Amino acid sequence: MKIKILVFILFTSFIGFSQSVNDYKAVIVPINFDFAKGVNPYRLSTMTKANLTKAGFNAYYENDQLPSELLNRCDLLYADVKRDNAFLVTKLFIEFKDCYGKVVYTSETGRSKEKEYDAAYRESLDLAFVSVNDLHYKYNGKTGASSAIAPSVAVVGSTVPVTVTVAAPVADISDPNLLYAQPTETGFQLIDKTPKVVMKLMKTSRPDSFIAIKDGVQGTLNAKDNQWFFEYYKDDKLVSEKVSVKF
């Protein structure tokens, strides 16, 4: 009983681990945004990457081929530009999330009264990055952004290592919403019967968990209770959606 309590305390202490932007090696920049249509609309991706580089971050577009030292996706931050709806004012802010979709940092909101989108987005984005520049980002050398999420647990008083075995969920072939996994360089893409790419998966250090992107929403695909679940945060609340996948 004492060993179980100790394991629980160690696990919950890791869950409560506080992270900062300095814990991450690089930042991934999106090429699509919820509030604007198309790829790199109004050069938002280009401007975001340029501002991140200026602030000291090592930045990559989400469709870039990453170097080998950045293949652990939980060592990366994932940036996104958000827009607040406002009358006669354009408001943008930058949100940084970890590989599990948890918000690590949110910038101040930049505002612009320019009427043209090109000028308004450029001005408000530059102003939002003032607070990001003030972070004085510098990677602290940790390799542990992922280890804080998925730690290895040592049990005091025992020489037997603790291992976790996860049974792969069994796909229901009769499910009309069944998705099929196709291997990619960084993980998988899930397609439906059309075929259409519904979700992109990127490998992590855990075989039962993937970084997942669906309809511009980033989260994780996790195996539990013999099912796969797409989990992400919406309005600071965790959303969990069941997904049927055949690997």
| The predicted structure's pLDDT at residue 172 | 76
Q: For the segment 78-88, what is each residue's pLDDT rounded down to a tens digit? A: 999 999 988 88
Domains of the chain (ranges; CATH) run 18-133 (3.40.50), 179-246 (no CATH)
Give me the mean pLDDT over the 213-242 stretch: 90
Cα–Cα distance list, 95 to 37, 60, 131 (Å) = 19, 16, 12
Give me the mean pLDDT over the 20-41 stretch: 91
Give me the mean pLDDT over the 43-71 stretch: 91
Q: Which of 20-24, 156-160, 177-181, 242-246 has the lowest mean pLDDT?
A: 156-160
| The predicted structure's pLDDT at residue 22 | 94
Check pLDDT > 70 for residue 37: yes
For the entire predicted model, the pTM comes to 0.56
Torsion of CA 128, 134, 140, 145, to 10 degrees: -30
Give me the mean pLDDT over the 7-21 stretch: 50
Write down the H helix ranges in 55-147: 117-133
**Residues near 148 by Cβ (< 8 Å), separated by ≥ 6?**
14, 17, 19, 23
Give me the mean pLDDT over the 227-234 stretch: 91
Place of tokens 């209770």: 225
209-214 and 197-203: which strand pairing? antiparallel
| The predicted structure's pLDDT at residue 216 | 86
Least Cα distance to 120 among 91, 93, 159 occurs for 91
| The predicted structure's pLDDT at residue 143 | 59
Q: For the segment 91-125, what is each residue's pLDDT rounded down to a tens digit? A: 999 999 988 788 999 999 999 999 999 999 999 99
Give me the mean pLDDT over the 162-174 stretch: 58
Whole-number average pLDDT of the chain? 82
